[in-house]
Chains A and B, each alone.
Chain A
Amino acid sequence: MNEAVPSYLSPTGQEIVFLLLGAVAVGSALLVVTTKQLVHAALWLVVSFGALAGCYLVLTAEFVAWVQVLIYVGAVVALLLFGIMLTRAPIGRSPGLDSGNRVVAAIVAVATAAVLVTVVIDGFRTAYADLTPGRGTAGELGSSIFRNWVLPFEALSVLLLAALVGAIVLSRTDIRGR
């Protein structure tokens, strides 16, 4: 399927690193979906996000990789763990974690994966990005943000403020209007 890839039979170092990181990402994502313990799911999510950050590094997207580590591994997973503890989830194995529509979910997942992989391989069979270091540093991304993407950036800051206020309003019990 990859005739156009020059180094398919003799993989370069980048490809080996990518294959290892991809295997780690897919394996830990499968464990997130299948594990019986809630806290373990969050911890496997850390492994998956870390492997994805490594993939971003291989793709020479340094800034995105560090933001991934900071936001996802640092903030989002910590928030999810707090949520698990606040909802008093069982710490040990909890058997009722999966709902009954397992067969339907498997069918949907296989169909999704088949369609996406077929389309991707069909559409990008000859695409080969030669990986050279350079772009993707914080400086370049910053100048691009403040040159071409100022309005979405400002809208995002307002969105973050709205999320902050909304979370405070939702979680306080003494300011309900009833």
Chain B
Amino acid sequence: MTTHYLVLSALLFAIGAVGVLVRRNAIVVFMCVELMLNACNLAFVTFARQHGNLDGQLIAFFVMVVAAAEVVVGLAIIVTIFRTRRSASVDDANLLKY
């Protein structure tokens, strides 16, 4: 049972990773990051269940709160970039390239 949950968590993490690598719109990249965070949360809750204490569930709760804060700031940054460069594509924000 624990193995099944952890395998599901690993699969979701891999799907999120391929989304971050392959998608071009910054907001969809954000969604895939959220997917990866959720996969980690599932692993935390599974381990909490496995060991019979609540610390894993609490850390999953903290991860959710931090992810909410991250979404707020990240979307503000994306909207600001869109305002100046008229594009939400991650390929267009290339000023840091040499």
Q: Which A residues lie at the B interface, using CB under 8 A?
A: 1-2, 5, 14-15, 18-19, 22, 25-26, 29-30, 32-33, 38, 41-42, 45, 48-49, 52, 55-56, 59-61, 63-64, 67-68, 71-72, 75-76, 79-80, 82-84, 86-89, 96-99, 101-102, 104-106, 108-110, 112-113, 116-117, 120-121, 124-125, 127-129, 131, 135-136, 140-141, 144-145, 148-149, 152, 156, 159-160, 162-164, 166-167, 170-171, 173
Residue of A nearest to B24 (CB): A99
- The reply on B93 being an interface residue by CB < 8 A is no
| A59 touching B45 in the complex, CB below 8 Å, given contacts A25-B12, A87-B78, A113-B10 | yes
The answer to whether A127 and B3 touch across the interface, beta carbons within 8 angstroms, is yes
A89 to B30, CA, bound (A): 15
Q: A127-B50, A144-B55 are in contact. List 6 more A-B contacts (CB 8 A).
A: A32-B28, A67-B61, A67-B64, A83-B27, A141-B61, A170-B73
B51 to chain A, nearest CB (A): 9
Supply 28 A–B pairs (Cβ within 8 Å), ascending by A.
A15-B1, A25-B12, A32-B15, A42-B31, A45-B34, A48-B35, A52-B12, A64-B57, A64-B64, A86-B82, A87-B82, A89-B88, A97-B23, A109-B18, A113-B14, A116-B10, A116-B14, A129-B2, A129-B50, A135-B52, A135-B54, A144-B54, A144-B58, A156-B62, A160-B69, A167-B72, A170-B77, A171-B80
A148 to B19, CA, bound (A): 37
| A99 touching B17 in the complex, CB below 8 Å, given contacts A42-B31, A152-B62, A159-B66 | no
The answer to whether B58 and A120 touch across the interface, beta carbons within 8 angstroms, is no
B56 to chain A, nearest CB (A): 9
A-B contact count (CB 8 A): 237
Chain A residues positioned under 8 Å from B8 (CB to CB): 22, 25-26, 55
Chain B residues positioned under 8 Å from A68 (CB to CB): 38, 41, 64
| A166 touching B76 in the complex, CB below 8 Å, given contacts A72-B38, A87-B82, A117-B11 | yes
